[in-house]
Amino acid sequence: MRDAYADQLDGIRQDLVTMSRLVRTAVSQATESLLNGDANRAEQVISSDAEIDRKREEIEERSFELLSLQNPVAGDLRMLIAALRMVSEFERMGDLSVHVAKIARLRVPEIAVPEELEPTISRMAAIAEVMVGKVEVIIAERDADGARQLEEADEEMDKLRRSSFRDLLDSDWKHGVEAAVDIALLGRYYERIADHAVSIARRVAFLVTGDMPSPSDA
């Protein structure tokens, strides 16, 4: 009976890894659609969000079942509670990827990102994708140290967002209000994806150590 219970817990961990992988793909494809003006790719991101939602429902159902039937204690209880919170963050990251894809689709056949902002947005997108990929590894390997290392990437993301705002407010901005709104939203979406990645990583550190690190500790 306990072996089956352990297998169920491990299955939830593996499902979290799978959900992370789905989100990483969504972030990557949303960025591709954005930078290439690819409406078909944008549609793929939008339609694939249902798969992320289904995975959240599956993990929640299995976690609640274990909570109600097995009466877990200590580390197992922490793991299930953390899983319930992490799936919500993953789902939100998927939603943010959809928002990026919708901006891309709205501007086709044009590209939403002005040429001079492309390096900044591309870098933000790359950081977001790398951070989600690291979360995947952190969950799979229960890597508390790796969880803390995400803070540096998040700091770079914050700097890039501030840089993009300076560009928008510059007197030389010549792309109009519509493009300014797009860039402001895109910066926010990628920044929030990074924030969710850091939050999930902190929960993994909580699973491993029993302590939830504060932002200054992560």
In this structure, is residue 124 part of a structural domain?
Answer: yes
Rounded to 5 degrees, φ, ψ at 151 are -60, -35
Indicate whether 158 pLDDT > 80.
yes
What was the pLDDT predicted at 58? 95
What was the pLDDT predicted at 142? 86
For the domain that residue 121 is a member of, what is the CATH number?
1.20.58.220
In this structure, is residue 161 part of a structural domain?
Answer: yes
In this structure, is residue 19 part of a structural domain?
Answer: yes
In this structure, is residue 216 part of a structural domain?
Answer: no
Q: Which of 2-11, 31-40, 113-122, 141-150 has the lowest mean pLDDT?
A: 2-11
Sign (positive or negative) of CA dihedral 40, 120, 159, 130: positive
What was the pLDDT predicted at 216? 46
In this structure, is residue 166 part of a structural domain?
Answer: yes
In this structure, is residue 17 part of a structural domain?
Answer: yes
In this structure, is residue 152 part of a structural domain?
Answer: yes
What was the pLDDT predicted at 217? 45
Residue 82 to residue 60: CA distance in whole angstroms:
11
Supply the DSSP string of 150-179, one letter for each residue: HHHHHHHHHHHHHHHHHHHHSTT--SHHHH
**What residue has token string 């229960």?**
142
* Per-residue model confidence as pLDDT tens digits over 45-54: 999 999 999 9
Indicate whether 218 pLDDT > 70.
no
Residue 30 tokens read as 């949303």
* Per-residue model confidence as pLDDT tens digits over 49-78: 999 999 999 999 999 988 887 776 667 888
What was the pLDDT predicted at 207? 80
Supply the DSSP string of 3-30, one letter for each residue: HHHHHHHHHHHHHHHHHHHHHHHHHHHH
Grade residue 10 by pLDDT with cuts at 50, 70 and 90: confident
Please give the C-alpha separations between residue 61 and each of 6, 9, 39, 55, in angstroms, as whole numbers. 17, 13, 34, 10
Question: Which range marks the domain in which residue 166 is found?
Answer: 2-209
Longest CA pairwise span in the chain (Å): 68
In this structure, is residue 181 part of a structural domain?
Answer: yes
Residue 3 tokens read as 């072996």
* Per-residue model confidence as pLDDT tens digits over 14-26: 999 999 999 999 9
What was the pLDDT predicted at 210? 65
Question: Is the pTM higher than 0.75?
Answer: yes
**Overall number of domains in the chain:** 1
